[in-house]
Amino acid sequence: MLRVSFITLIRALSGRNMSIFTQCLNPLTGVASWEEKDQYYDYHQEVARSAFADMLHDHERNKKYYIALKTAIEKKHRAGEEANVLDIGTGTGLLSMMAAKCGADTITACEAFKPMANCAAEIIRENGFEDKIKLICKRSTKMTIGKDGDMPKRANILVTEVFDTELIGEGALSTFRHAHEVLLEENSIVVPHKGTVWAQVVESSKVCAWNRVKPIKNGETLVDAPSTIQACSGAAAIHDMQLSRLPRDTFVPLLPAQPIFRFDWSGNKPLLNNEKVSLCTQPITSGTAHAIFMWWDLNMDTDDQVLLSCAPVWEHPDVPDKMKKDFSCLQKMADSIPWRDHWMQAVYYLPEEIPITRGVEVNLIGYHDEYSFWFKLLNGPINEIPDCQRPECNCWAHIAYSRTRIGQLNDAVRNQRYLRALRKKITPNSVCLCMSDGCLLALAVARLGAKVFLLEQNFLSRRTMEMFVQANELSDRVKIIESIDGLPEASEIDFIFGEPYFLSSIVPWENLRFWYLASRYPSSIMRMPITATIRAVAVEFKDLQKIRAPLGICEGFDLSSFDRLVQMSSENSDNPVEAQPLWEYPCKALTSCFNIIKLDLTRNVNFDERKKITGEIPILHNGSCNGVAIWVDWQLDSDISVSSGPIEEIVPGERVSWDPYTRQGVHLFRRIFNVMKKNTLSWSFSFVPQNGEVEFEFSISTNA
């Protein structure tokens, strides 16, 4: 369900309790309705979204913060000073408890999010540090110093983790700057001490496919991309990605990876909100520059002895140089470097593709404001760094469609399967109705000679498709319809098709919206796809389970109160199945893939039918069963299908290769099961067509 932003509070009939009514749009039916929720529903949503268990599962991060804190406290003590620690954004209180264990004289922790501050207070008390740590529930920028203030005097050690994938995106610059101005003594030690942003220019048609819509070709160009879309630099937001999972043979580094921005958190150098720098570099090979790969590292201590790196595997300092040149070895080494979903790498797309030549120097120019980076590449020497505004989409396509969807539109294999199936059905006399958002295949059908009605209910997608229609001079063959009220009569069409894809869909089966829309017409009208099969496989995720896995004891501290808080809120507000791009998250199959339900899309939805299906599938490989992956296979005709799941046959015990241009559904077990071949996965599926409710349940059972 998609919940819109406005919420109405009303009193329950008792006149005492409060209920929250949320307006929900069902992606399958397209019907908006009001749902009554517990009065604390908003609270539970906030808490569940604030979960950062994957960060606390990051042992390297925790260990290096611990080492740097211990070093800082000992350094102050050796100098004959007290060690007065300020922990900004304490979260669970973990770093403050580390400081206490390392012998800090005073510790002040601040946490602005009240539910988390309350949780931290409980954790600190349960671990026996209540008398050592003072907890302040406010933002650090609101803290006061003095006799009646939040701290009696300034601190001389600051520890904080206010970083995101883009390093500065959570307001690190203003947080550190304010701390030095108001909360810290001169010559304070800051953990971490420095931050360095690295950039690498690459050529990669695969990566570029997530950014610019390309023409659809079948020997000839069937659908061309408007010039405004081809020239657009793309969405302003970064494309965060687990770059270590990108096959090494899908990109070519054109410039060596190099530091482009350095931030001194210690206060010795000013932290500026706006900077621009230029790196004059010799290309290591010739090619076309498509994008910038970016990551960062932290020098945790003042002596630069402890480095925390977020580099991808081929540039990671812990990977031997000889292995970085072996593509097959790199894929194995990717499993050995620390996994972080909270600090991924980032892709920045260049405003325009730049051809560069080995031996001819280029200038990589980096810019940043208070929260974001962007880049420009220029051939040859420059006398002055030019100003450059942060790129923003001006073509509408990047606002209408996600990067995953743009990649899907550019998937040549997928497009060719659709075209083969469509060519069997389409004649120059065909009159077709396309029910999908942003379906360029509808224009390909028009190019093949058919007349096409295209339902586009979303304004942004409709405007984008109008650009494509005009650019391809198909206005006489394609009519865009704004709402279901404008759909043609059944007598006017002879073929209904879709990919299916809808902007409102999050998990693959929500694209069954196509079935609901098609059911407005007699089932005698030919349709494509003809069936949808929801399929699943039990898996052992290498890392993804950490985003939900309980912490228990973390670095010697009991954080079970945090586990209870997040689990309770998640159970109250989260769907047990979420969408994830599984190509970025390695997993091993523990069962064969199995069918949950096969739906006949050539027959209209039976709104009076309720489906409840149960089943079992044997475990075929020993391992830790921590999740189930779910997807949909769409059968276009008797011979051709497309999948939103694996791109190769699933083999129990082997890693699964996932489609990189869709997100799959994932059920993560709250308890991880060590399974053997004598175990089974039990499952149930319920579907209420009347209101579009879909529910999955999974459990591990032991055979007698």
Parse the chain into domains and list their residue ranges.
53-191, 195-395, 404-504, 531-542+573-701
Give the separation between CA 375 and CA 383, rounded to whole angstroms.
18
pLDDT tens for each residue of 391-430: 889 898 999 999 999 999 999 999 999 999 999 999 999 9
Instruction: Give whole-number Cα distances, 119 to 59, 85, 123, 617, in Å.
Output: 21, 20, 6, 40
- 2.70.160.11, 2.30.130.10, 1.10.260.30, 3.40.605.10: CATH of 531-542+573-701: 2.70.160.11
What does the pLDDT average to over 78-92? 97
Nearest of 549, 553, 561, 550 to residue 115 by alpha carbon: 561
Higher pLDDT, 524 or 41: 524
Distance CA 215, CA 230 (A): 10
DSSP string covering 81-96: ---EEEEES-TTTHHH
- Report which secondary-structure segment, H or E, holds 59: helix 59-78
The Cα–Cα gap between 540 and 672 comes to 9
* CA distance between the termini of the chain: 39
pLDDT for 3 beyond 90: no
- In one letter, which amino acid is 87? D
Contact 43, 56 (CB under 8 A): no
pLDDT at 322: 81
> Residue 62 — pLDDT band, cuts 50, 70, 90?
very high
Q: Which residue has the higher pLDDT, 12 or 287?
A: 287
Q: CB neighbours (10 Å) of residue 470?
A: 12
Secondary structure class of 225 (helix, strand, coil): coil
CA angle 435, 596, 689 (to 5 degrees): 50
Place of tokens 């991309």: 225
What is the residue whose two structure tokens read 């694996």?
A: 646
Q: Tokens 């059972």: give the residue.
A: 701
Q: For the chain, what is the mean pLDDT?
A: 91
Round to whole Å and give the CA distance between 96 and 83: 12
Pick the closest to residue 86 from 177, 149, 178, 151 (CA basis): 151
pLDDT at 113 over 50: yes
pLDDT digits (tens, 9 = 90+) for 482-533: 999 999 999 999 999 999 999 999 999 999 999 999 999 999 999 999 999 9
CA-closest candidate to residue 70, choices 380, 306, 242: 306
- Do 53-191 and 404-504 show the same overall fold? yes
Q: What is the pLDDT of residues 629-686, one digit of tens each?
A: 999 999 999 999 999 999 999 999 999 999 999 999 999 998 888 999 889 999 999 9
Structure-token pair, residue 649: 């046959």
Give a three-class secondary structure readout of 298-363: EECCCCCCCEEECCCHHHCCCCCHHHHCCHHHHHHHCCCCCCCCCCCEEEEEEEEEEEECCCCCEE
Residue 296, Cβ neighbours under 10 Å: how many?
25
More confident residue, 77 or 701: 77
Q: Where are the beta strands (DSSP E) in 249-306?
A: 252-253, 258-264, 275-281, 287-299
pLDDT at 66: 98
| Cα distance between residue 681 and residue 625, in whole Å | 9
Instruction: Give the pTM.
Output: 0.92
Q: What is the CATH number of domain 53-191?
A: 3.40.50.150
CATH 2.40.40.20 fits 404-504, yes or no: no
- The catalytic residue positions are 161, 170
What average pLDDT does this structure show over 313-342? 87
**Can you tell me the mean pLDDT for 443-449?**
94
Reply yes or no on whether the pLDDT at 443 is more than 50.
yes
Would you place residue 33 in the very low, low, confident or very high pLDDT band (cuts 50, 70, 90)? low
431-435 sheet: strands from edge to edge: 478-481, 451-455, 431-435, 495-497, 526-528
Give yes or no for a cis peptide into 576 (omega within 30° of 0): no
Per-residue tokens: 1:
């369900």
Residue 648, C-beta contacts closer than 8 angstroms, at least 6 positions apart: 656, 657
Spell 181-201 as b/e; 16+ CB within 10 A means b.
Answer: eebbeeebbbbbbbbbbbbbb
For residues 474-478, give the mean pLDDT: 96
Mean pLDDT along residues 197-225 = 93
What is the rounded CA–CA span in Å between residue 266 and residue 446?
62
DSSP bridge pairs for 309: 297
pLDDT at 39 over 70: no
Q: Please say whether the structural domain 195-395 has been given the CATH code 2.40.10.10.
A: no
332-359, pLDDT tens digit by residue? 888 889 999 989 999 999 988 899 999 9
3-class DSSP assignment, residue 611: strand
Angle at alpha carbon of residue 186, lines to 182 and 189, rounded to 5°: 100
d(CA 92, CA 106): 18
- Give residue-wise pLDDT tens across range 378-388: 998 888 999 99
